[in-house]
Amino acid sequence: MPPGPDPHDARGVLDRLDELRAAVTASEDDVLACLVVTGEPGAQRVLDDWLDQVADTLGALGEVADDLAPTLTRHAARPPGEGRPGAADAPREARVVEP
């Protein structure tokens, strides 16, 4: 059975996917803000269709990034500062100190 992806590579790809999703969301909002009224029915239809296609394409990119993220998360190394699973992260039992 082949080994899974390198945890650090998976973390790097996951970080890039997070950046992609943020950029796609911002870009989609920017594209939709470009909707203007031209006053010409033919030109308006072409402009509206084109902007809809761009927004749909950006939305599809975001969906693919969302679909890939759970798989990569299972293989990704934890970012620095989040610790490692195990005894250090296990909840500690409260100690009762008697007076």
| Three-state DSSP class for residue 1 | coil
| Residue for token pair 């998360």 | 73
pTM for the model stands at: 0.63
Q: Give the closest residue to 10 by CA, choosing from 66, 74, 63.
A: 74
> How do residues 24-72 score in pLDDT, each as one tens digit?
999 988 988 888 888 899 999 999 999 999 999 999 999 999 998 988 8
CB 75, CB 7: distance < 8 Å:
yes
> How do residues 88-99 score in pLDDT, each as one tens digit?
343 434 444 444
* d(C-alpha 40, C-alpha 38), whole Å: 5
Can you give the residue ranges of every domain in the chain? 7-75
6: how many CB neighbours lie within 10 A of its CB? 12
